[in-house]
Structure 1
Amino acid sequence: MTNDKHVPRIVIVGGGAGGLELATRLGDRLGRRGKAEVVLVDSQRTHIWKPLLHQLAAGSYDSHAEEIEYLAQARWHHFRFRQGRLCGLDRAQREILIAPLLDAEGREIIPAQRLGYDYLVLAVGSQTNDFNTPGVAEHAIALDSPQAARQFHERLIDACLRAQNVPVAAGGGRFTVAIIGGGATGVELAAELHAAAQVLVSFGLEHIHPERDLKIVLVDANTRILSVLPERLSEAAARELRKLAVEIHSNERVVEVSAAGVRMASGSFVPSQLTVWAAGIKAPDFLKELDGLECNRLNQLLVAPSLQTSVDERIFAFGDCAACPNGAGGWVPARAQAAHQQAAVLAANIERALAGKSLKPFTFQDYGSLVSLASYSSVGSLMGSLARGSLFVEGQLAKLMYWGLHKQHQMALSGLIRTVLITLSEWLDRVHRPKIKLH
């Protein structure tokens, strides 16, 4: 006799923080025991924790030493990995369409595929929203992917080398980095760039003076930076940035980006040799065309508290690409901690769905926010169980807690023992390599 029992297939599209954590959880719980086939689909081959992109851009984070390879993670945690880009959905057949995978010369590596599913999870994250501002696509770098962060870093090193070879007496060599967006990414990048410039001087670029040759300008349309966070946190971050000679332009809306710089609605102009756009996010545009799934104006998929999409109970979405209600008319914020919490709830809900049980609603628990200001400081607010309202933290305590968030993510993917070994490896790596990447 043959065993024709159907093994359900769970397909997860998107290997970001939430998607990879979910695949790891389901692989360990279901894939290991043959209760389900878990498949992760992503266009890249490796995973980098997105909150570290500002460090990758500045060169203070060695992605090649710390990124996670999907194929290795899949082998260790009993799921399968398929590299490819989602390009379509057939809900009637319960299949996703994956575009052909091409190499750098445009040659086909893997042909187009159709992959069936019993349950589909969309965790494709978000991308920068340029609000159709003229010139952004041509003249600014959107810091929303490892590729963009590496591109920025290469241009930064090129600019430093150019400044190094301009005689000081000639009065040249100064260059400006304009960062559009005073959210966490923009603020953290500004501080990280200042720290990187200080280190560069010690590597033979003696003609570069950080305060003279690198000007960092932070522009935000709101009345204060970090506007979605508590005002006290915003003020502390602004105070620290001004100590680093970062020029802050609040309440300034950018209307055009050019090769020469950035123009604001007020008429003022900031000359810039390197412009980063980090103002606002939206979900990828292709979500609007996925076989009738409902989206909001930011392309986020509308989901119920169970994280099921509004029109198909076999399709889930979570993280930045999902609009999930959080009671009292509010929405779950697009933060890493929300995706982490949703991954845990969704893993349990998929198990319940396979068992024919009702699903549990997701409720977001806001534990506060932390913002890293490179090696100088960190600021944050803790909420929930530690205090009624919020507890303000800064300095070394906040820096330790920010570091702990990354360790929490690593533990969700690798467990305690591997995380301890990874941490030891990171420490040894920092002992023998330069503090920033020089290429």
Structure 2
Amino acid sequence: MGAVDRQACSTAAELTRSAAHRIVIVGGGVGGLGLATRLSETLGREGLAKIVLVDRWPTHFWKPLLHEAASGQLDPATHQLQYAVQAQRYGFEFEQGELAALDRAQQHITVNALHDADGREILPARQLGFDTLVLAMGSVTQYFGVPGAAEHALPLESVAHAEAFRRKLLDTCLRANHARRARTSQAHTPVSINIVGAGATGVELAAALRDTVRLLKRYSPFALDPVHDFRIRLIESGQRVLPGLSDTISTRAQRMLENLGVEVLIATRVTEVRADAVLTDDGAPLASDIAIWTAGIAGPPVLRTLDGIAVNRNAQVLVNRTLQCTNDANLFGLGDCAACPSDTAGAFLAPRAQVAHQQALFLARALRCRVAGEALPEFAYRDAGTLVGFGREGTIGSLSSSLLTRPVFVDGWLATAVYKLIYRRHVMTLTGFARMALDTASHWLRRRVHPVIRLH
């Protein structure tokens, strides 16, 4: 054995003999769960660190699929990963509950008590000590102070929200179908669905809903005409849909939405949301059976209360290029809840799944350096492009790589294939190739045995 190898083994033995470094990760999304899994395979397996994952839900669901769950074209139960199972497989600990408080001086967090549906306590409030704390808590809906929005417009942050929307959609369709059969005064009034915000989530949801109402026509309880009995609006305050993407993608996206029969309202600001209408600065109220808000995000409100950690006006943790909080080197932030500097002066990285994924990969390496007492590297984001799905209309977007001088526009079968592979790569990252392959096969078989739309 060489001198370098003996020195590395000696260093590892010293770290093992000392108390294991305590890494607590709050949030089990794309970044948080991926980071917990990777750290457990390296530092955890070597006995150099103890990894604890905290999340308020018992299961993980890939958020880019929420629009499919909300439209009823995907059963979220078949796409969820149980944190406790992942923890057992990879050797980290899982604590269910919501982050309530942080004590930076004593280096511990407080997790709220967990209660059942009847209000009985399942788990008491707990304190978890840490040497390194990673905040990966995702985001919440930003209503921008619009009157009635929080009360009457559904958010789309979680499986629970997707299920609430889907249930409301089915109930509204049943009500409308009965009105037509009974020939009531509402018999000729279309079902009005208003989606506020034409970012990727809003655009994909609008397209998915058009597919859903077409599929519902197959079943007698929903004998509604998918063209005349539904009015799906996409409302955007900016000058175009998908404002964060190129003009080429935006123009093509709007044309595809219009081909699907989605009414696109751009440069239209929502001023109020009521139970039965959405009001805009354009004039007349827009009838509304269901309203859903996909117009903006912010960090979870609890981040504003955490022992003086630096946050921006959107309650996102301010981090530097090592992803450490700007006023506490023991705290790290990643994903939607973190404001991470981009290469453009004064700008921050957009809240996207690929950002969180790359940050998790980076921190898996950086925290190994931290445990070893070495200097931390700096995070560098590499944009791989963006793809947006339009159901039966296909997929469009752009792909980027270090081999290309600029992003390349893609559509057709190639864009659709890459779009589907992104999720499979995520599953493989968490579970390995064999489980991913079995999971893919089970979903393929399920879609050929069960209805393509959820009716209950």
Residue from 251, 255, 262 that aligns with 1:235: 251
Aligned partners of 2:298, 2:124: CA distance in 1, in Å? 29
Indicate the residue corresponding to 2:48 in structure 1.
Answer: 35
Residue from 2, 13, 32 that aligns with 2:26: 13
Residue from 253, 268, 271 that aligns with 1:255: 271
The yes-or-no answer on 1:50 pairing with 2:70 is no
Indicate the residue corresponding to 1:424 in structure 2.
Answer: 441
Residue from 421, 424, 430 that aligns with 1:404: 421
Indicate the residue corresponding to 2:311 in structure 1.
Answer: 295
Preserved CA contact (<8 Å) 1:13 1:19? yes
Shift of the alpha carbon at 1:388?
1.7
SS of 1:130's equivalent?
Answer: coil
CA-based RMSD: 1.3
Bigger mean CA deviation after superposition, 186-195 or 201-210 = 201-210
Indicate the residue corresponding to 1:271 in structure 2.
Answer: 287
The yes-or-no answer on 1:165 pairing with 2:178 is yes
Shift of the alpha carbon at 1:36?
1.1
Identity of aligned residues (%): 43
Preserved CA contact (<8 Å) 1:320 1:335? yes
SS of 1:189's equivalent?
Answer: helix
Indicate the residue corresponding to 2:352 in structure 1.
Answer: 335
Indicate the residue corresponding to 1:434 in structure 2.
Answer: 451
Residue from 102, 107, 118 that aligns with 2:131: 118
Q: 1:206 to 1:278 in 2, by over 3 A?
A: closer
Indicate the residue corresponding to 1:148 in structure 2.
Answer: 161
The yes-or-no answer on 1:381 pairing with 2:394 is no
Indicate the residue corresponding to 2:10 in structure 1.
Answer: none
Aligned partners of 1:125, 1:141: CA distance in 2, in Å? 18
Shift of the alpha carbon at 1:186?
0.5
Deviations 1:306-327 (A, max 9, x none): 0011111111111011111123
Preserved CA contact (<8 Å) 1:163 1:207? no
Residue from 345, 351, 356 that aligns with 2:362: 345
Preserved CA contact (<8 Å) 1:13 1:41? yes
Structure 1 portions without partners, runs of 5+: none
SS of 2:398's equivalent?
Answer: strand
The yes-or-no answer on 1:354 pairing with 2:371 is yes
* Structure 2 counterpart of 1:281, one-letter code: I
SS of 1:363's equivalent?
Answer: coil
Residue from 81, 86, 106 that aligns with 1:73: 86
Aligned partners of 2:224, 2:446: CA distance in 1, in Å? 27
* Structure 2 counterpart of 1:382, one-letter code: L
Structure 2 portions without partners, runs of 5+: 1-15
Bigger mean CA deviation after superposition, 367-376 or 130-139 = 367-376
Residue from 261, 286, 297 that aligns with 1:281: 297
Residue from 126, 132, 138 that aligns with 2:145: 132
Indicate the residue corresponding to 1:393 in structure 2.
Answer: 410
Aligned partners of 2:96, 2:133: CA distance in 1, in Å? 16
Shift of the alpha carbon at 1:11?
0.4
Aligned partners of 1:206, 1:271: CA distance in 2, in Å? 21
* Structure 2 counterpart of 1:246, one-letter code: V
Indicate the residue corresponding to 1:201 in structure 2.
Answer: 217
SS of 1:375's equivalent?
Answer: helix
* Structure 1 counterpart of 2:385, one-letter code: G
TM-score scaled by structure 2?
Answer: 0.94
SS of 2:208's equivalent?
Answer: helix
Shift of the alpha carbon at 1:200?
0.8
Preserved CA contact (<8 Å) 2:48 2:371? no
Indicate the residue corresponding to 1:104 in structure 2.
Answer: 117
Indicate the residue corresponding to 1:371 in structure 2.
Answer: 388
* Structure 1 counterpart of 2:364, one-letter code: A
* Structure 1 counterpart of 2:172, one-letter code: A
Indicate the residue corresponding to 1:225 in structure 2.
Answer: 241
Indicate the residue corresponding to 1:323 in structure 2.
Answer: 339
Shift of the alpha carbon at 1:206?
5.6
* Structure 2 counterpart of 1:379, one-letter code: I
* Structure 2 counterpart of 1:313, one-letter code: A
Aligned partners of 1:206, 1:81: CA distance in 2, in Å? 43
Aligned partners of 1:146, 1:386: CA distance in 2, in Å? 38
SS of 1:314's equivalent?
Answer: strand
Shift of the alpha carbon at 1:386?
4.9
TM-score scaled by structure 1?
Answer: 0.97
Preserved CA contact (<8 Å) 1:166 1:173? no
Aligned partners of 1:166, 1:265: CA distance in 2, in Å? 32
Shift of the alpha carbon at 1:387?
2.8
* Structure 2 counterpart of 1:132, one-letter code: G
Aligned partners of 2:323, 2:137: CA distance in 1, in Å? 14
The yes-or-no answer on 1:176 pairing with 2:189 is no
In the TM superposition, 1:55-66 aligns within 5 A as 55-66=68-79
SS of 2:392's equivalent?
Answer: coil
Q: How many residues align?
A: 437
Aligned partners of 1:121, 1:334: CA distance in 2, in Å? 17
Shift of the alpha carbon at 1:44?
0.3
Aligned partners of 1:34, 1:309: CA distance in 2, in Å? 26
Deviations 1:159-210 (A, max 9, x none): 1111222235553352100000000010000010010111111122363111
